[in-house]
């Protein structure tokens, strides 16, 4: 999980200039139990995170970090 949160934080910083471990952890938690990027995108859209207006490209990058961390590639 720590590697995933760190990667998510790095992605947030590169896309939005945000460095926030709490936000990265919240995004990581939205990915728990999700099996694909569409489920993850719906989880983001149906939460308070929707207000941040994440682009599709950002969602795909975040999902990639989650799946890489799950697979031990980070």
Give the pLDDT confidence of 35-74 residue by residue, as tens digits.
Answer: 999 999 999 999 999 999 999 999 999 999 999 999 999 8
Helix axes 37-45, 56-70, angle to 10 degrees: 120
Q: For residue 17, give every residue at least 6 positions away whose Cβ sits within 8 Å of its Cβ, in sequence order, or none.
A: none
Question: What span, in angstroms and rounded, lies between the C-alpha atoms of 20 and 73?
Answer: 22
Helix axes 56-70, 2-16, angle to 10 degrees: 160
Q: Which structural domain, as residue segments, surrounds residue 63? A: 2-70
pTM of the model: 0.93
Question: What span, in angstroms and rounded, lies between the C-alpha atoms of 53 and 51?
Answer: 5
Q: Provide the number of structural domains found in the chain.
A: 1
For residues 19-40, average pLDDT: 97
């Amino acid at each position: 999980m720590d590697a995933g949160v760190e990667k998510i934080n790095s992605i947030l910083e590169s896309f939005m200039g945000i460095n926030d471990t709490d936000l990265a952890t919240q995004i990581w938690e939205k990915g728990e139990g999700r099996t694909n990027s569409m489920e993850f995108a719906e989880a983001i859209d149906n939460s308070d995170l929707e207000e941040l207006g994440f682009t599709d490209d950002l969602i795909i990058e975040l999902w990639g970090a989650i799946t890489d961390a799950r697979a031990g590639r980070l």
